[in-house]
Amino acid sequence: MARIRDEYTKKEQIREAAISVIAKDGFHTASTDKIAAKAGISVGTIYNYFKNKSDILDYIFQVEYEKRAAFFKNLQEQKDTHPTEKITAILNMHFKRVSENPDLIKVVLEEMRFSQSAYFKQYGRKNGFQKFLAEIIQDGIKQGKIRKCNPEIVALTLFGFIEAMMKQYIYQLTEEGSSDVFAHAVEEINALIWQGLVVEGEPND
Question: For position 108, what pLDDT does the model report?
Answer: 82
Segment 73-87 shows an average pLDDT of 90
What is the percent of the chain with per-residue pLDDT over 90, rounded to a whole number? 37
Mean pLDDT of all residues belonging to the chain: 84
Query: Could you give all domains of the chain from N- to C-terminal order, each with its CATH number?
Result: 1-50 (1.10.10.60), 61-197 (1.10.357.10)
Taking every pair of Cα atoms in the chain, the longest distance, rounded to a whole number of angstroms, is 62
Quote the CA–CA distance of 77 and 26 in Å, as a whole number.
39
Segment 78-101 shows an average pLDDT of 89
Segment 104-112 shows an average pLDDT of 81
pTM of structure: 0.80
Beta bridge pairs of residue 198: 146
DSSP 144: T
Beta strands in 99-172 (DSSP E): none
Question: For position 61, what pLDDT does the model report?
Answer: 85
Question: For position 151, what pLDDT does the model report?
Answer: 93
Q: How far is CA 164 from CA 55, 106, 157, 185, in A?
A: 28, 13, 11, 10
Amino acid, single-letter form, for residue 167: K
Report which listed range, 125-129, 164-168, 188-192, is most confident.
Answer: 164-168
